Chains A and B, each alone.
Chain A
Amino acid sequence: AQTVTQSQPEMSVQEAETVTLSCTYDTSENNYYLFWYKQPPSRQMILVIRQEAYKQQNATENRFSVNFQKAAKSFSLKISDSQLGDTAMYFCAFIPDRGSTLGRLYFGRGTQLTVWP
């Protein structure tokens, strides 16, 4: 069975500082994708960053980067230069890569991040 664990229900950070959100997962799949989604107060799910498991290089998207440790099954999100607009619930998610067959997206329970001015 696939599971995604986010051990930090809440975190806070000062504006302009850096914060890291942790995520671990468990799977027997060899090929898969990992995601971080952001859910602001509007509750719209927004894709922040995506990592392919077969790529060793960590994904980056502007101020967002990940530390992907495949052997440890760890996928943390680092937010640099935090902004007030980063305040949101962040979900870590996993999907097996099964080509054309249906892939279920597994979510962690989320980390509520608050950025303080």
Chain B
Amino acid sequence: SQTIHQWPATLVQPVGSPLSLECTVEGTSNPNLYWYRQAAGRGLQLLFYSIGIGQISSEVPQNLSASRPQDRQFILSSKKLLLSDSGFYLCAWRPRGASEKLFFGSGTQLSVL
């Protein structure tokens, strides 16, 4: 069966520090991968998506970047965090060719202080 792992669950970082959130998917190959952010009291905003290794598309210009060094690994990074980067980050994956299925990780609560 397929599973998605996302870590860490919570993270408190000072302004200006770097960030690395990792997401891995098991039990499938060549998935579409997504990073979403959920600000307090708001819906989910798509940040990045990837259809393959090294292929990253950005939805919103921002202080963050994403990378996909391996087929089932998706990393969200920042060189210098801003206060506005605080939020709940969700990784998700979708089987190739299956529009109706999207599976979410358990999320990371990031607090930038």
Contact = CB atoms under 8 A, between A and B. Distances in A.
Contacts of A107: 43-44
Nearest to B51: A102
A73 interface: no
B90 A103 contact: no
Interface stretch (B16-24, B66-74, B78-86, B92-100): B92-100
Interface of A: 33, 35, 42-45, 47, 50, 52, 91, 95-100, 102-105, 107-110
Contact of B43 (A50, A97, A102, A109): A109
B43 A43 contact: no
Contacts of A42: 106
16 contacts: A42-B106, A43-B109, A45-B90, A45-B107, A52-B100, A91-B43, A95-B99, A95-B100, A96-B99, A99-B99, A102-B49, A104-B46, A104-B59, A105-B92, A107-B44, A109-B43
Given A97-B99, A98-B99, A108 B43 contact: yes
B104 interface: yes
Contacts of B46: 104-105
Contacts of B42: 109-110
A35 B104 CA distance: 14
Nearest to A37: B104
Contacts of A96: 99
Contacts of B96: 100
Given A104-B49, A105-B46, A109-B42, A33 B100 contact: yes
B77 interface: no
B6 to A, nearest CB: 11
The 9 closest A-B pairs by CB, nearest first: A45-B104, A109-B43, A100-B97, A103-B99, A107-B43, A107-B44, A33-B100, A97-B99, A43-B107
